[in-house]
Amino acid sequence: MIDEGIMLIPAAMHQMRSNDTEYPFRQNSNFYYLSGFEEDNALLLLQRSKKGMKQILFVQKKDRTKALWSGKRLGVDGAKKRFHIDKVYAIEQLDTVLVKLLKGVQNIYIDLYGNRAFFHRIHTLCRTLYEDRHVKVSPHGFLHVNLLIEQMRLIKSKDEIAVIEQALEITKEAHETAMKMAKKGMFEYELQALIEQIFTTRGAQSEAYSTIVASGNNANTLHYIANNCRLRQGDLILIDAGCEYAMYASDITRTFPVSGTFSPAQKALYNMILEVQLAVIDAIAPGVRRSKLQRLCETKLCEGLIALGIIKGRLKTALKHGAHKKYFPHGVGHWMGIDVHDQAPYVDAQGRELALEPGMVLTVEPGIYIDQHDTGVPERYRGIGIRIEDDIVVTRTGCRNLSQHIAKRVEEIEALCVGVAPAG
């Protein structure tokens, strides 16, 4: 994909949390995608020339003192044995090796929006070469590499999809356990702790994003993460939670009743949203564009809101004025992979919307959010927030719902909430 030149992808660095404590380390997604290397303070170099492609990895040396405090590292020799790569150097040799490799190279492919300190470091090396009278050709083209990697990440291999499915197995257990254990008087954070305990004990690295446990009117804050309110009888709980397993995300939202049984109004609104979600999933196939899925989702949600008396007027007029967007303000879904909102393009280099292709993984997540103080809707619907989200892979003939085994039909949810095994 690249012309002659050198591509540089740095690993993530540890980030300070407070004073001398750090956030849990999480590898740079693009670096991991291309290398599989999980340590910090490393760099992958790909060199393309007339002779072919060369791969070089820079890693931290083994250090007994650092190992005592932070754990063992593969080191240069260990990385040589572990990875199929042409050469491995100690990261301390980076500047020396780069100066030699960059002589005669015109193009450098790099993340122009990423690690500023690293970009400045490379810029300084290039300037040194430019000012050296003995160097005839030095880098003068800095090219943004992210789009190339993002295009690769957009199409998942069978192995990648298998890892996502493993993440979803863990996420299924977490969501369904929360349905079984939730009861009035509990705090939202108790369910959060239960979910994240299951993630950890089942081998997931962490949650893929901040867990949302939003009961009652809290569900009408889309990114609610305070998770500090008590569960009340009669309320619904919206849980948006997914684990990260082997660096790949899952992203699932389920909504269920604290009491174990949906009220008539809750059930009517829930089933309407579920029907919309199923219709959108059924429309996913190669060649379809996300904008079509968005229009389908909005049209059907608007139809449903009119039928329930939440929106008044005719469908065409309501859609034209965006009456439904007050209650459905977000998109129908997003790409998912190594990042929960996967770093992959939605348009091509000319700005044209991409059509779906086999191997793409996306979420489908319609929802309706009605604030408790919204006097413009019937009282029975006020304070209800519902979202239903699944993870879908596009196939040659249509799509496959990777999370279809996670309970979401009303009868499945109510059976779990009251401790009865659902039929089938």
Query: Is 334 among the residues known to form the active site?
Result: yes
Active site residue 251: yes
Q: Give me the residue label for tokens 């009220």.
A: 263
pLDDT at 230 over 80: yes
Pairing state between β 141-144 and 243-245: unpaired
- Identified catalytic residue from 123, 289, 341, 382: 341
For 288-313, what is the mean pLDDT? 97
Task: Please indicate whether residue 396 is annotated as part of the active site.
Answer: no
Could you say which of 111, 190, 365, 390 is catalytic? 365
Q: Is 4 a catalytic site residue?
A: no
Give 115 or 298, the one with higher predicted confidence.
298
Which one from 89, 298, 334, 391 is the annotated catalytic residue? 334
- pLDDT for 419 equals 66
Catalytic residue among 209, 224, 369, 381: 369
The catalytically annotated residue of 160, 190, 235, 240 is: 240
Query: Can you give the length of the chain in residues?
Result: 424
95-133: b or e for each residue (b if 16 or more CB lie within 10 Å)? eeebeeebeebebbbbbeebbeebbeebeebbeebeeee
139 vs 273: which has the higher pLDDT: 273
Annotated catalytic, 20?
yes
pLDDT at 121: 87
Give the confidence band of 132 by pLDDT, cuts at 50, 70, 90: confident
From the list 234, 138, 253, 146, the residue with the least C-alpha distance to 195 is 253
Query: Helices then strands (H, E): number in the chain?
Result: 12, 19
> Is 84 an active-site residue?
no
- Which domains are present in the chain? 5-152 (3.40.350.10), 155-417 (3.90.230.10)
Confidence category of residue 364, pLDDT binned at 50, 70, 90 = very high
Question: Contact, 403 vs 254, CB < 8 A?
Answer: no
Catalytic residue among 82, 330, 405, 409: 330
Identify the pLDDT of residue 129. 87
Nearest-angstrom CA–CA distance, 230 and 228: 7
The proportion of the chain whose per-residue pLDDT surpasses 90, expressed as a percent, equals 83
Band of residue 196 on the pLDDT scale cut at 50, 70, 90? very high
Q: Is 144 a catalytic residue?
A: no
**Mean pLDDT, residues 406-413:** 98
User: Which of 223, 314, 352, 373 is the catalytic position?
Assistant: 223
Q: Tell me which of 48, 73, 153, 387 is the catalytic residue.
A: 387
What pLDDT, on a 0 to 100 scale, did the predictor assign at position 421?
46
User: Dihedral of CA 151/211/416/274: which sign?
Assistant: negative
The three-state secondary structure class of 12 is coil
pLDDT at 120: 86
Residue 330 is a catalytic residue: yes
Band (pLDDT 50/70/90 cuts) for residue 223 is very high
pLDDT mean across residues, the chain: 94
Tens of pLDDT, residue by residue over 6-44, are: 999 999 999 999 998 999 999 999 999 999 999 999 999
What does the alpha-carbon distance between residue 11 and residue 25 come to, in Å, rounded to a whole number?
Answer: 11
Confidence of residue 87 (pLDDT cuts 50, 70, 90): very high
Residue 418's pLDDT is 80
In the set 160, 389, 390, 412, the catalytic residue is: 389
Based on the residue annotation, tell me whether 116 is a catalytic residue of this protein.
Answer: no
Q: How many other CB atoms are found less than 10 A from the CB of residue 365?
A: 23
- What's the whole-model pTM score? 0.94
Model confidence at 422, in pLDDT bands (50, 70, 90)?
very low
Residues 6+ apart with CB under 8 A from 311: 302, 305, 318, 323, 324, 327
pLDDT band at 116 (very low <50, low <70, confident <90, very high): confident
Give the active site residue among 176, 235, 251, 303.
Answer: 251
235 is catalytic: no
pLDDT tens for each residue of 70-82: 889 999 999 999 9
Q: What are the tokens at 410?
A: 């009303």
Is residue 365 flagged as an active site residue? Answer: yes
Better pLDDT: 132 or 194: 194
366-403: per-residue pLDDT in tens? Answer: 999 999 999 999 999 999 999 999 999 999 999 999 99
Q: Is residue 424 scored above 50 in pLDDT?
A: no
Q: What average pLDDT does range 173-188 have in this prediction?
A: 97
- For residue 134, is pLDDT > 50? yes
